[in-house]
Structure 1
Amino acid sequence: MKRKWSLLIIAALISGCAGNRKIGRAPASLKEAFKNDFLIGTALSAGQIGERDAGARVLVPQQFNAITPENVMKCEAIHPQWNRYDYKLADEYVNYGSRRQMFIVGHTLIWHSQLPGFVHRIKSPDSLRLFMQQHIHTIASRYAGRVNSWDVVNEALNEDGTLRRSVFFEKLGPSYIAEAFKLAAEAAPGTLLYYNDYNIEQPAKRRGAIELIRKIQASGARIDGVGIQGHWHLGQVPFRDLEQSIADFSALGIKVAITELDINVLPRPKNMSGAEVSQKFASDPEMNPYPNGLPAALEEQLAKDYEQLFKILVKYKQQISRVTFWGVHDGQSWLNNWPIPGRTNYPLLFDRQGRPKPAYYRVLAVGEK
């Protein structure tokens, strides 16, 4: 069945692309369509890294030339106890990308979320600083020369642009961010170093991100780029703010990446803010209106949103290093269970069977022009 499914996916791609390309040309892919513009990436789950997802086994090497791990390099997975590291899945991930000669992203070294319990029990600033030093040095040096880019610090800002009062901020103060970049540069000198966050295309948070990047640079630390996550909503993608953000960030002498792209098609709960993972809301049938498929009108809106987005990204291709989708296909998307569990979402370019959606062809057409 797995082999049959893989063959069906390939047939669907070839058939669909034939309708969008001249007869006789080789089937297109995202990575081919944008090969002169920027890298095209996807996030991989543990099952996909282990090649247990038949659809992803075909789609990932065919469509993408960059990968990011969803969870296997986050602190709770790779460093579960003070003196114990678990490299099994992270090694599998790096080996997966190396075998396919892909651009490999490490995600993430310092983040306030998905920390093992022992980090929250650390009492003194000196002990927390020692943890941070050992954590960054041990992991970044292990993969030096194999991981091409690290999200060094993830989501350190509030929506108003001020610094989040995380466990790192509370005990180490704001200087922990520049220190993390210095440590990463020492451990992996040839690796690109990025700051990554959601909603930093929004004016207030963008100002905070610009101030943060300038302080990192002023400290003497190296920062190579900024990741705009790109968790947006159907019909509400902030195109104008995104263009301004690309211009403002690149003016700092760094590259811009879209690092976690998806477009949520489902209703948002009231009082929901940004992409903070700690937000949880109760299940409600009214908040899951499309369990059996996305209506054609919304499918068309999704295609339009993606098409317009990629037109902007190609316009600024000199400033953009990479565009990474947060998932390979709809069935994998975190948006099926966040912020409400058990929903059916349709935020990506491939459906639950790994088949290309109308949005895929619209994006492909942008790259082929």
Structure 2
Amino acid sequence: MKLKAVFLLFGLWLAQTVSAVNDGDTMKDVLGKYFTVGAAVNIDIVYGRSPEEARIVTDNFNSIVAENCMKGEVIHPEENTYFWDDADRTVKFAEDNGLEIIGHCLVWHSQPPEWMFTYENGDTVSRAVLIDRMYHHITNVVSRYKGKIKGWDVVNEAVNDDGTMRQSPYYKIIGPDYVRLAFEFAHEADPNAELYINDFSMASPGKRATICKIVRQLKADGCRIDGIGMQSHNGIDYPDLDEYEASIDSFAACGVKVMITELDMNMLPSPDDFSGADISQHFDYQDKLNPYKSGLDSKGRKLFEKRYLDFFGIYYRHRHQISRVTFWGVTDKGSWLNDFPVEGRTNYPLLFDRENKAKPVVEKIIKLFSE
């Protein structure tokens, strides 16, 4: 009897100890067993001006991406002038805190270097000139962080939802091979860096088919391409979950990593004619488009949790195909969705609220991956 009592006490102690350890686990501890868990960070975080948000990052995530400071218009404001300060600081923040860092992004039709596509007189540059400018931009940016940045979003948002190629200045001036050239330039600048193609609305069958075709062609041409980024700017009624899951399978079948790269949840109603995450969209403010000025109501909170758990259920089922899940932002107050595509709205798209507190769904996501 005494021996049984000893074993019983030991069992109770062990259970309490395990429970205490699990209670302290964060997303990077549990989900990180399968894929890295990241967040896009702004310059206030990396410069220490938002210490509470910085603590959220270091406690919960093991990967970061620069939200804006590595985009062309910021890092390369003039043809022969680079602005490195904010990008350097972001890399240092990652190094100081043992975080993986992803570079975003090298070639994108939106927020490019303003001078990229025209001569000083305003005329459109030639194909040869744009290739040369693209080469030097990619080479100088990637080379500066050689060995420090794990991977780069090389080409961002190159495909329309219907599967046609976006008629961006890169496409119009260079032609479809601008994608291949961008990957070749990036690989030459840092042969050890992973290289990705990234896009929104990746559950669209037409876009899915074209992305797969591009990736297979790049591989056939001998180009390095390591992953496909599914931006995942999701909403309460989009995307279709079956199509979203089908895209994960299709992208994995291309022989590359699948990454959830810009995850958030738009909790607000969409204006008429709203489409995807194209940041060129702007709509006039209407009260009916801003229903949660003082916070989500009970119905909204339940829907928020359900949608996030639906998606993380998919990520759990595909945990061996997914290499990274990255949220686009850290807390609700700093999310780009507060003003997109309607300025002046209050949105609630992320896992940490405006008071820097974890929402209840965080614990539920951790529990899902613990079972």
TM-score (norm 1): 0.92
Please, which of 25, 29, 51 is the counterpart of residue 28 of structure 1? 25
**What percent of counterpart residues are identical?**
40
Residue in structure 2 matching 1:330, options 329, 332, 343:
332
Q: Secondary structure of the equivalent of 1:118?
A: coil
Distance 1:265 1:284 in 2: 15
Correspondence for 1:112 among 102, 109, 112? 109
Q: Deviations over 1:10-58 (max 9, x none)?
A: xxxxxxxxxxx93465512110111211000000111112121132121
Superimposed CA distance per residue, residues 84-107 of structure 1 (whole angstroms, 9 cap, x where no aligned partner): 111000000011101111110000
Residues 174-207 of structure 1: per-residue CA shift (max 9 Å, x gap):
0000110011111111111000000122111111
Give the structure with higher Rg (CA): 2
2:186 to 178, 184, 187: 184
After superposition, the C-alpha distances for 1:75-132 in whole angstroms (9 at most, x for unaligned) are 0000000001110000000111011111100000000010232113242111111100
Q: Which residue of 1 aligns with 2:200?
A: 198
Give 1:329 deviation, angstroms: 0.6
Give the distance between the partners of 2:186 and 2:312, measured in 1 at CA.
31
**Inter-partner Cα distance in structure 2 for 1:52 and 1:130:** 38
Which residue of 89, 93, 96 corresponds with 1:96?
93
The alignment yields a C-alpha RMSD, in angstroms, of 1.3
SS in 1 for 2:333: helix
Relative to structure 1, the CA distance from residue 215 to residue 92 in structure 2 (aligned partners, 3 Å threshold; closer, same or farther) is same
**Partners in 2 of 1:246 and 1:26 — Cα distance?**
31
Cα distance in 2, alignment partners of residues 129 and 106 from structure 1: 21
Give the match for residue 12 of structure 1: none
Q: For the structure 1 residues 133 and 315, does the alpha-carbon distance in structure 2 shift closer, same or farther, using more than 3 Å as the test?
A: same
- Aligned ranges 1:35-184 → 2 under 5 Å: 35-122=32-119, 123-184=125-186
Q: Secondary structure at the match of 1:354?
A: coil
The alignment partner of 2:192 has SS state of coil
Q: Is the partner of 2:300 in helix, strand or coil?
A: helix
Query: Which sits farther off after the overlay, 158-167 or 357-366?
Result: 357-366
Aligned letter for 2:91?
A: V
User: 1:250 matched to which residue of 2?
Assistant: 252
SS of the equivalent of 2:258 reads strand
Answer whether contact 2:232 2:260 (CA < 8 A) is retained. Answer: yes
Change in CA separation of 1:126 and 1:30 when aligned onto 2, cut-off 3 Å = same
What secondary structure, in the 3-state scheme, does the structure 2 residue paired with 1:312 have? helix
- Identify the residue that residue 290 of structure 1 maps to in structure 2: 292
Is 1:299 paired with 2:296? no
| Structure 1 stretches of at least 4 aligned residues deviating more than 3 Å after TM superposition | 23-26
CA contact (8 A) 2:36 2:324 kept: yes
C-alpha separation in 1, matches of 2:278 and 2:85:
28
Q: Does structure 2 retain, via aligned residues, the 8 Å contact 1:237–1:305?
A: no
CA shift in 2, pair 1:213/1:289, >3 Å: same
Partner of 1:266: 268
- Helix, strand or coil for the counterpart of 1:311? helix
Contact 2:333–2:353 (CA<8 Å) still a contact in 1?
yes
Deviation at 1:314, TM superposition (A): 1.6
Answer whether contact 2:203 2:239 (CA < 8 A) is retained: no
AA paired with 1:344?
T
CA distance in structure 2 between the partners assigned to 1:249 and 1:365 by the alignment: 27
Q: Deviations over 1:134-181 (max 9, x none)?
A: 001111111010000100000001111111111110110000001100
Q: For each residue in 1:277-320, what CA deviation from the matched residue of structure 2 results, as whole angstroms up to 9, or x when unmatched?
A: 10011111211111101011111111111112112112111111
**Mapped contact 1:46–1:89 kept (Cα < 8 A):** yes
Residue 236 of structure 1, CA deviation: 3.3
SS at match of 1:160: coil
Structure 1 distance, partners of 2:52, 2:304, is: 22
Q: Distance in 2 between matches of 1:165 and 1:287?
A: 31
Moved more, 27-36 or 57-66: 27-36
Shifted more, 281-290 versus 325-334: the winner is: 281-290
Structure 1: 5+ residue stretches without partners: 1-20
